[in-house]
Amino acid sequence: MFGYVIDSATAVQVNLKPKMPSPTCDPHQNGIDKFIVCQEELMALFAICPACCEKSDSRIVQQEGTFVKIEQVCACGYQRFWQNQPILHRNMPTCNLLLSGAIHFSGCLATQTLRMMTLFGLQCISASTFFRHQRRYTIPVIIQAWQNEQAKNFSDLKAMDGGLVVAGDCR
């Protein structure tokens, strides 16, 4: 869903739609929208110092898969760091793990999917990162979800009136 935040004062002045809920960055929810942004347009956002409105220097100081961190420095002394996504435990960028999960849960072949992204020029995780995520996170999550579902089914059956009658022909 596309949306942007309008502060309440602006909404009153120009009589726009009421304030929309701001997007959250909950690492446990992958429903938040992501956008593909070209590097030139991204760096243009850091070309002007927000403190003195003069031209400032900016550069990419860290890139890891889908993660990018930019430093902006101005002659007036202003400095800030900006990153394109939240970080999970062990300094793991959220979207790197979400991308591994999306590839795994969709059934797509990881090497083909990553090759397609690389051809497109999209900065993404390596195949070895995908397989590490698969081993440490996405496979354990699938097993846990299956066990939870099984436990729920057993619990529902036990709570059923009259119990469950299971029959077979011994084959």
- Measure Cα distances from 5 to 8, 19, 47, 82 in Å: 9, 7, 23, 19
Residues in the chain: 171
Q: In angstroms, what is the minimal distance from the CB of 75 to Zn ion?
A: 6
* Residue 12 in the binding site for Zn ion (CB under 5 A): no
**Nearer Cβ to Zn ion (47/141):** 47
Nearest by Cα to 46 from 63, 37, 58: 58
47 in contact with Zn ion (CB under 5 A): no
141 binds Zn ion (CB under 5 A): no
Window 51-70: residues binding Zn ion (CB under 5 A): 51-52
Comparison of 46 and 130: residue with beta carbon closer to Zn ion: 46
CB-nearer residue toward Zn ion: 11 or 73: 73
Among 16, 76, 127, 141, binds Zn ion (CB under 5 A): 76
Query: Does the footprint of Zn ion cover residue 49 (CB under 5 A)?
Result: yes
Distance CA 41, CA 70 (A): 13
Size of the site for Zn ion (CB under 5 A): 6
CA–CA dist 73, 47 (Å, integer): 10
Distance, CA of 122 to CA of 39 (rounded, Å)? 10
